[in-house]
């Protein structure tokens, strides 16, 4: 009965073997979604950073491709690694890399991380292009931008229609800053402005920035610009997460709205280095982010077998005005996730629970769970997931401090890193409203989206068995759970 747990997710992207961290170069090109990712071709810990590659028709079922950009020796004792970056579709061939008529280059812009044992590390922004979406050629005049510094990385590029130029955002991690550059041809870049330093979370260095524009969902006619960066976490204590800024970008300068910063995208411990896709169908209207589901605090020792590291499901971002008239971001699984729902295992309009109630038709560890919590005077009300003996992961509303929580302190194997056993909390709005919950469970990870994605938490878990059960619970007094729907999820990855 003790089948070895590999902890390979079934509908989340993971590399066929070996190590991954950040998603890179998310782009739609030649009728396919492409994911590139920080990859170690030689092992299951960080090293030899290269860009792995996979393609998909729906962002869920990925076909693995050969490594796109592989680390290489420079011949003088130094080597170059491919750190995180972006991929753009150069439709108008501004770069001139397209040679034949109508040939559209896919241009990857990455950080060249050069380790010269002795003289130290340098990071600069460089380029490689592809004419078939598979094989890349490095530009012979790299680097594009070199500040002759060690920490300068993670370029993200997009085409800005208004100013008719390419815009790059790139991090100066140790300065808690991002820089914005512009280019007519992806090759020559000029500095536009800098942002940061005075604003936001500075408990950790800033990495993997992104910038994009979104309409405000409940304020027709308004659009806002957003900058996201990876760095400190809302429950600090050395943890990692992603913060964001909302404001305006005039083609030169990003001006943040006066809001209570820092603001965070996800309150779990395992959502980092997220970037959005470029060039999506439908005029790039959807802004879809994939993040790395892991934390540098314990990524090297997670107990998965045969691979290490994986991505979140794709999440669509939107902006809304909250009950205090402040702009906020929400993020929710893309509709493509719903296509992988299998059998509806449970459906119930309403049930009052005092203590615990076993969901007897539910087993297995790939589920899409929806329900509504009607607030009661119970101190805690929610669901026990992946329950096996004493082990379980809790997701619940905590009345005392008005938060939604994930408790993974008893989730199974928690002993591989001191920061792993933890309870995450996301503050809830100060209203009496019901709480709509959606939870994706996929073997080794849990993604919680409350109220359509206004509150989000992502956590890895390593249960000790596949024989698991599920229970609703409410402490002291009864809580009513409404609109319960639980689907089995199908496998999208081999
Ligand atoms: C973020 C990061 C990036 C860097 C990459 C290296 O997780 O540190 O800043 O480009 O990982 O693998």
Strand, helix or coil at 209? Answer: strand
In this structure, the number of other CB atoms found within 10 A of the CB of residue 124 comes to 18
Q: Tell me, yes or no, whether 286 and 142 share the same domain.
A: yes
Q: Tell me, yes or no, whether 190 and 106 share the same domain.
A: yes
CA of 288 to the centre of ligand 1 (A): 20
* pLDDT single digits (tens) 320-361: 999 899 999 999 999 999 999 999 999 999 999 999 999 999
Is 223 a domain residue? yes
Q: Strands 190-196, 240-249: parallel, antiparallel or unpaired by DSSP?
A: unpaired
Q: Tell me, yes or no, whether 149 and 32 share the same domain.
A: yes
Task: Name beta bridge partners: 427.
Answer: 403
Is 84 a domain residue? yes
pLDDT given at position 118: 67
CA of 207 to the centre of ligand 1 (A): 7
Q: Apex CA 257: angle with CA 256 and CA 263, to 5°?
A: 80
Is 301 a domain residue? yes
Phi and psi, residue 251, nearest 5°: 95, -10
Identify whether 368 is a catalytic site residue: no
Q: Tell me, yes or no, whether 278 and 300 share the same domain.
A: yes
Strand, helix or coil at 452? Answer: helix
Phi and psi, residue 338, nearest 5°: -60, -30
- CA–CA separation, 14 vs 312, rounded Å? 10
Q: Of the residues 335, 365, 380, which one is the last residue of a structural domain?
A: 335
Domain that holds residue 248: 18-335
Atom of ligand 1 nearest to the CA of 22: 7
pLDDT given at position 1: 40
Q: Tell me, yes or no, whether 122 and 255 share the same domain.
A: yes
pLDDT given at position 238: 85
CATH of the domain at 30: 2.115.10.20
Asked if 336 and 315 count as a contact pair (C-beta separation under 8 A), the reply is no
Collect the ranges in the chain with pLDDT lower than 50.
1
Strand, helix or coil at 64? Answer: strand
CA of 273 to the centre of ligand 1 (A): 8
* Longest CA–CA separation in the chain, Å: 72
Q: Ligand 1 pocket test: pick from 153, 178, 290, 294 the residue with the most ligand atoms within 8 Å of its Cβ.
A: 153
- Counts for the chain of helices (H) and strands (E), in that order: 1, 33
For ligand 1, atom 12: residue with the closest CA: 83
Atom of ligand 1 nearest to the CA of 154: 10
Give, as one character, the DSSP assignment of residue 145.
Answer: B
Place of tokens 């890399």: 97
Query: CA nearest 404: which of 238, 294, 311, 266?
Result: 266
Is 143 a domain residue? yes
Burial class (CB in 10 A: 0-12, 13-18, 19+), 2: exposed
- Residue 123 near ligand 1, beta carbon < 6 Å: no
Query: Token digits for 363?
Result: 């087993």
| Catalytic choice (22, 201, 270, 459) | 22
- CA–CA separation, 221 vs 69, rounded Å? 42
- Residue 228 near ligand 1, beta carbon < 6 Å: no
pLDDT given at position 192: 98
- CA–CA separation, 311 vs 492, rounded Å? 13
Is 205 a domain residue? yes
Q: Tell me, yes or no, whether 202 and 293 share the same domain.
A: yes
Q: Tell me, yes or no, whether 33 and 133 share the same domain.
A: yes
Q: Of the residues 335, 368, 393, which one is the last residue of a structural domain?
A: 335
Q: Tell me, yes or no, whether 270 and 392 share the same domain.
A: no
Q: Tell me, yes or no, whether 153 and 76 share the same domain.
A: yes
- Residue 367 near ligand 1, beta carbon < 6 Å: no
Q: Of the residues 335, 352, 381, which one is the last residue of a structural domain?
A: 335
Is 9 a domain residue? no
CATH of the domain at 425: 2.60.120.560
Pinpoint the alpha helices (H) of 301-407.
335-338
Instruction: Say how many domains are in the chain.
Output: 2
For ligand 1, atom 6: residue with the closest CA: 83
CA of 411 to the centre of ligand 1 (A): 28
Query: CA nearest 188: which of 165, 209, 159, 210?
Result: 165
CA of 88 to the centre of ligand 1 (A): 19
Q: Tell me, yes or no, whether 306 and 348 share the same domain.
A: no
The strand order across the sheet containing 327-333 reads: 272-276, 287-292, 315-321, 327-333
The ipTM estimated for the assembled molecules is 0.99
Is 5 a domain residue? no
For ligand 1, atom 9: residue with the closest CA: 207
Burial class (CB in 10 A: 0-12, 13-18, 19+), 478: middle
Q: Tell me, yes or no, whether 429 and 316 share the same domain.
A: no
Is 391 a domain residue? yes
Q: Tell me, yes or no, whether 319 and 383 share the same domain.
A: no
């Amino acid at each position: 009965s003790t089948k070895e747990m590999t902890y390979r997710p079934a509908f989340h992207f993971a590399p066929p073997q070996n190590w991954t961290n950040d998603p890179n170069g998310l782009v739609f090109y030649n009728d396919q979604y492409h994911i590139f990712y920080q990859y170690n071709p030689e092992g299951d810990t960080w090293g030899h950073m290269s860009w792995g590659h996979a393609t998909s028709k729906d962002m869920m079922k990925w076909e693995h491709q050969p490594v796109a950009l592989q680390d290489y020796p420079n011949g003088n004792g130094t080597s170059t690694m491919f750190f995180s970056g972006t991929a753009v579709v150069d439709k108008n061939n501004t770069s001139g890399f397209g040679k034949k008529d109508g040939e559209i280059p896919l241009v990857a812009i990455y950080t060249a991380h050069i380790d010269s044992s002795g003289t130290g590390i340098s990071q600069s922004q460089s380029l490689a292009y592809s004419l078939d979406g598979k094989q890349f050629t490095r530009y012979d005049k790299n680097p594009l931008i070199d500040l002759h510094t060690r920490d300068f990385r993670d370029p993200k590029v997009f085409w800005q229609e208004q100013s008719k130029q390419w815009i790059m955002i790139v991090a100066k991690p140790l300065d808690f800053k991002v820089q914005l550059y512009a280019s007519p041809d992806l090759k020559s870049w000029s500095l536009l402005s800098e942002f940061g330093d005075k604003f936001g979370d500075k408990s950790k260095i800033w990495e993997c920035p992104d910038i994009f524009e979104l309409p405000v969902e409940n304020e027709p006619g308004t659009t806002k610009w957003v900058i996201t960066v990876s760095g400190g976490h809302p429950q600090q204590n050395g943890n990692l997460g992603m913060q964001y800024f909302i404001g305006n970008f005039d083609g030169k300068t990003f001006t943040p709205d006066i809001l209570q910063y820092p603001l965070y995208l996800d309150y779990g411990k395992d959502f980092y280095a997220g970037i959005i896709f470029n060039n999506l169908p439908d005029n790039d209207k959807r802004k879809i982010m994939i993040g790395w589901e892991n934390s540098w605090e314990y990524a090297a020792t997670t107990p998965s077998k045969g691979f290490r590291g994986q991505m979140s499901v794709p999440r669509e971002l939107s902006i809304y005005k909250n009950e205090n008239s402040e702009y906020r971001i929400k993020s929710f699984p893309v509709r493509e996730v719903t296509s992988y729902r299998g059998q509806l295992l449970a459906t119930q309009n309403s049930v009052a629970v005092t203590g615990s109630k076993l969901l007897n038709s539910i087993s297995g560890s790939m589920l899409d769970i929806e329900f509504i919590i009607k607030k009661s005077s119970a101190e805690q009300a929610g669901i026990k997931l992946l329950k096996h003996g004493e082990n379980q992961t809790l997701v619940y509303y905590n009345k005392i401090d008005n938060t939604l929580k994930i408790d993974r302190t008893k989730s199974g194997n928690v002993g591989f890193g001191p920061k792993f056993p933890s309870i995450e909390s996301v503050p809830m709005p100060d209203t009496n409203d019901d709480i709509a919950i959606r939870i994706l469970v996929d073997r080794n990870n849990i993604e919680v989206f409350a109220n359509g994605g206004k509150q989000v938490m992502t956590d890895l878990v390593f249960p000790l068995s596949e024989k698991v059960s599920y229970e609703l619970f409410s402490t002291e007094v009864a809580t009513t759970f409404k609109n319960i729907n639980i689907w089995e999820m199908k496998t999208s990855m081999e």
